[in-house]
Each structure stands twice: as structure tokens, then as C-alpha cells.
Structure 1
Amino acid sequence: MRISSFTAGGKALYGAITEAGAVALSTEFPQWPTLYDVIAAGGFGRLVEAGRGRGVTHTDFTFDMVMPDARRILCVGVNFPNRNAEYKDGSAQPKHMSLFPRFASGFTGHDQPLIRPPENHTLDYEGEVAIVIGTAGRRIAAKDAYDHIAALTLCNEGTIRDWVRHAKFNVTQGKNWDRSGAMGPWLVPFSDPAQLDDARLQTRVNGELRQDDHLRNMMFPIREQIAYISTFMTLQPGDIIVTGTPTGAGARFDPPRYLVPGDVVEVSVVGIGTLRNTVDDEAP
């Protein structure tokens, strides 16, 4: 089952996505205006069941950022060994993971353009898997971490590279330009550890394979991410963790290969799907 947020006929809806089109379910759950509300209330399983065997309601629709009103999005930086080596600073694997926040306004949906701002043209791609928390927890043991995941999705954690260097201790400025990244196309219910443990993440730009790695190679596996983050904050249903990108981002080529208008970026994981976006310059 694939569950997403989408717009049809000028209305923001959510529901199931099939090969034939979208199945609007939001009208059946008025107590939950958005997909975030569904998950925050523990209703994701009920929504998934409601979508089974239903007929398509919309064939003409556009995908939105999968959870456009997500409250808390945390991203794990530099989380693959080769990615750490890309920095060429001689540093060993860090003892603790790097984290930074992103906001929902920085993401667009599947088949929508990433927006390159006029202030800076170093727009880069980062293909990642994102997890959505379904069960609250504090100081979650790593062995129990997967019990707290409701769903999986994909992320292109688009970055304006020059702006991550504007300050000494953070990268927030370069990570939150409006619609510079994408998340979707949909949420896939999480039910089997193999969905993450065996996942192979690939990113292509104009059909060229740029990133290709397995999640099992992460320096800080997803179980550890949940355990570590929940040490200092109570994870809540609807929280999103963007889990880290492999080597191969455009900034690490010589010369760098940043995104330009007309490019097509695809982030894929078998069993989750493909998140596809074009690139446009911001309209005046």
C-alpha cells in the first residue's frame, strides 16, 4: 500500500496511490485533516486498511510533499564511510552522528521541480531514505527501535552548498531553501526489518547513476539513529528522520556538478519506489 498527500481540483487530499490513479480517503477521516494528523493520532494502520480494494477517485492530480505539515524533521549528515572520506580532512569515523533540522517548506513533492534560487546556483542532490515515527518513545533501545517506525519514504535532501559555509557550526542555512528538496512520492508501511536492512539506495541525474550504496553500510545504522535521537528528545508520531546520503553528490566531483534547470533527479529504493524531480530556476 502506498499512501500520499496530493492536490486534485484545487483541494489538498490524502489517500492511496495505485497504478491507475489516486484513491482519496481524507474525506472519510475528517477528524484527521492531514496525513500528519493521521500518524500523530495513531491512525495510519486504519488508513492503510481503508485503502485496500478501493476504486480510483482521481486520475488528474499532483503530488505534494508527502507530509506537508510535518512538525519535526531531523537529518543525519555524513553517514556513510566513503562520504566521510569525501571531505578529505583525514578524520576518522566520528564518535557521534551529526544532526541538523529541516523544515517542511524546504521540500516539494514527486514530479515537481526543485527550485534553484537566484542568490546562489550551487544546488546539489542527496538521495536518502526517510523514516516516519509511529510510536512515541524516549531513550529507546536500539534493539527496539524498529518498533517505533510507522512508514518509509524517500528524500532528495537538496542543498545550496555555498550556504552551508555561512557559519562555523551549522548547515541550516544551506538546507532550508524553499522547495530545494523533495520528499515522497508516498509513505510505504514499515512491517519487515528487511525493508531497511537490505535496502539499496540509488540516485540518478539525467539517467546517470551518481549514488549507489546499501543502508547496511551506514556508519550509524537507523536503529542507532533512533536510539541516539530519543536520548535527548522524545520522539513523537509524525517525526521524520532523514537517514543519510551515500557518496556521489555533485559537490564532490572535480569540478563540481551542480544541478541546473532541465535536469532530472531520481532517487530509488526497491520496495519503496522512485522519487523523481526536475529542476527550475525560481520565478522572478
Structure 2
Amino acid sequence: MATNLVRFEKQGKPWWGVASEGWITPLSDDYLTTAALIERGEADWRQARGRTPSVGIEDVEILSPITTPCRIYCQGANYRQHMIESGMNPDAKLFNMFFTKSDASIGSARVAVARPPHVKLLDYEVELALVFRRPICSAVTVTPDMLADYVFAVTIANDLSARDIQLPQTQFFKGKSYRGFCPIGPWLTVLDREEFAKIDDLELQLSVNGTVRQHDNTSALVFKPAETISELSTFANIAPGDVLLTGTPSGCALRVPPPPLRRVMQLLPERRFWKLFLKSQGRRPNYLKPGDRINARIWSRDGALDLGEQITEIVG
């Protein structure tokens, strides 16, 4: 049975606990980092599952279940329809598109996110996030039945992106790393080994002000977690508590111009090209504005897994 581990603040101090049906059972010991919880907290949280909950989840401040410092690895354009929407052929893709976000972007699933004053094209990207269990310091070949050896938990992430920085400046790292641009949680869902197969059949949904913008199933991932971790391990070191964002479904605010228009625009000088592109994007109403409320959820269709819900308000 999956276990939801939540990090929360009580009496000015961070705690870990097991979340269930609106309540929290605090763990007995202190774990200053996510890595510490992973490495020595299993007996504690397994015992906590058998105790009576004592803390109302609405009575405490929910913190990010990912502590810093850590590394955030990301996959770009990894859902079939999102690739098609972005002008790519999913059947012709041979390798992952990897990038990173600064860990300064990590935030709670229950706090407001400030849109920087100079950012006008703020986009949303709901993603399934994998939290690593063990160090990886050399190339490994991971198969689906080995995922439990490398992945500690799954959770929800929102890869907020300043498109007017990311694209004209060719700055994925900068455009996606402003403080608060990676809400994570509300909790870590720790799967039993036999539940890992459900990762390939999870529903993702993101709505803005009550209107659904993104909805897909992880069965549509082009590169699945096992092969992605294998590829990532060929060039990156990984530590317990590091995170992999596995890609976002179609439905983002960003729209790539159709191929005929792109070909014409690419003949223009670079400054003129980006001026026209940003002007066209600025006319789209889906980019986030102060006052917008984002709800993001991930769950299994059979009801066995519920990764909770993120509730994020945009301010600024």
C-alpha cells in the first residue's frame, strides 16, 4: 500500500509525517533533509502508519517535501501530443531532451508564486516527478522491474516557465529557475514494489481558475522512467533526494507557430523574429497573470494512488 509522506511546520519547526484522509501522523524522529528521511526513516514511517493521526492537515503549514540543496533534472517534450504540438515527430525522437532547474525554484504546493515584474509570458507545466532513492555515479541500465531500486517516491511538480526569457535568450535554466518556479508536493507518495507498474498509467490534470488546461496519462510518455534514468546516468551524478521531472502534457499556454509561418519568420533578422513571436504570444490569454489560481492533480484511474493536489496562486 502506498504511503504519503508530508513535511509540515508545527510550532516553528519542520516535521515529517504520514498523511491520510486529511490527517497527519507525525514521525518519531527528526530528519533535516529528504535524503535523511530516505536513508534512515523507513522503519519510522512504517510504524507511524499504525498509529492514530493527531494533526489536522489544514491546521499546519505544508512545506516542500524536497529539501535543498538538491538537483532537479527535467525532460523536455516527452508526451506524444505535446511533441506534436511543439512541431516534433515523437516517432523520430531518439534521445531525451534534458535540462535542469535551480533548486532555488523549489517551493511548497500550498504557497503563492510571485511572477517577476519583467516576466509577461508565465506558463504552467504539470509533471510527474520521481524522487531518487540511491546514489548513481556511473552508467547503469535500469529496467522497469528495477525502478523500485532507484526511485523512492513520486510526487507532483509544476515546471513554471518564463517563456519570454527561456526562448529569446535561449535560457532554459534561467527561464525556469526563478524562485518559486517549481512547486513540489504536497507529499511524497512512496510505492510498494508491486505498485511501480502504476507509474505507466497515471492521470495528470492542471486547471487555471477552474478551467482544465492540461490532461493526459503517463502511458503517453515517449521515454519511460526506466530508460530515462538509464540515459541520464551516462552523464549525470544523482544523489538521494534529487528529482526528475518527466515532462508535461500538451495544453501549455505556449503555442509554436505552424510550420509554414515558422519558415517565413526564420528568414527575418533575429531581433525582428523574436519581436513578432513575443507579440503573437502576448495575444494569447492563457499565460498566467497575478490572481490566477492553479490546481494540479495526479492520480491512478483505479483509485489506488492519489498524489494529492497542488493549489498555487500567482501574485506580483
Q: Same fold (TM over 0.5)?
A: yes
Distance apart, 1:193 and its partner CA: 2.4
Aligned residue in 2 for 1:9: 11
Identity of aligned residues (%): 27
Counterpart CA distance in 2 for 1:256 and 1:92 is: 31
Larger Rg: 2
Separation in 1 of the partners of 2:88 and 2:33? Answer: 44
Alignment partners' CA distance in 2, 1:21 and 1:77: 35
Measured after TM superposition, the shift of residue 256 of structure 1 is 4.7
Deviations 1:46-88 (A, max 9, x none): 2321321223343321111121325111011111122122223
Shift of 1:146: 4.1
Q: 2:25 aligns with which of 23, 26, 30?
A: 23
Mark the runs of 5 or more structure 1 residues left unpaired by the alignment. Answer: none
> Is it true that 1:260 corresponds to 2:259 in the alignment?
no
Match of 2:169 in 1: 167
Higher mean displacement: 81-90 or 196-205? 81-90
Count the aligned residue pairs: 276
1:218 aligns with 221
Aligned to 1:182: 183
What amino acid sits opposite 1:58 in the alignment? V
Deviations 1:226-277 (A, max 9, x none): 1111112343221211110010012238725111222221221211333322
Question: Counterpart of 1:71 in structure 2: which amino acid?
Answer: C
Matched, 1:201 2:204: yes
Partner residue of 1:150? 152
Alignment root-mean-square deviation, CA: 2.2
> How much has 1:203 moved relative to structure 2?
1.4
Distance change in 2, residues 1:234/1:180 (3 Å):
closer
Matched residue type, 1:263: D
8 Å CA contact 2:77, 2:247 repeated in 1: yes
Per-residue CA shift, 1:118-143, capped at 9, x if unaligned? 12122211000001111333322231
* Aligned residue in 1 for 2:261: none
Which ranges of structure 2 fall in alignment gaps of 5 or more residues?
256-280, 300-304
User: Aligned equivalents of 1:67 and 1:203: distance in 2?
Assistant: 21
Question: Contact 2:16/2:26 (CA < 8 Å) preserved in 1?
Answer: yes
Question: What aligned pairs does 1:1-284 form with structure 2 within 5 A after superposition?
Answer: 1-25=3-27, 28-30=28-30, 32-39=31-38, 42-59=39-56, 60-88=59-87, 93-137=92-136, 138-143=138-143, 144-168=146-170, 170-191=171-192, 192-252=195-255, 255-270=284-299, 271-282=305-316
Please report how far the alpha carbon of residue 195 of structure 1 lies from its aligned counterpart in structure 2 after TM superposition.
2.4
Q: Hey, what's the Cα distance between the residues in 1 that align with 2:230 and 2:147?
A: 7
Once residues 280 and 109 of structure 1 are traced to their aligned partners in structure 2, the CA distance between those partners, rounded to angstroms, is: 13
Mapped contact 2:298–2:309 kept (Cα < 8 A): no
Runs of 4+ displaced beyond 6 Å: 89-92
Contact 2:102–2:173 (CA under 8 A) maintained in structure 1: no
The structure with more helix, counted as a fraction of residues: 2
Shift of 1:16: 1.6
Shift of 1:221: 1.0
Q: Does structure 1 conserve the Cα–Cα contact (< 8 Å) formed by 2:83 and 2:89?
A: no
SS at structure 1 position matched to 2:216: strand
The answer as to whether partners of 2:115 and 2:122 remain within 8 angstroms in 1 is: yes
Distance 1:120 1:49 in 2: 44
Q: Structure 2 CA distance, aligned partners of 1:47 and 1:267? A: 29
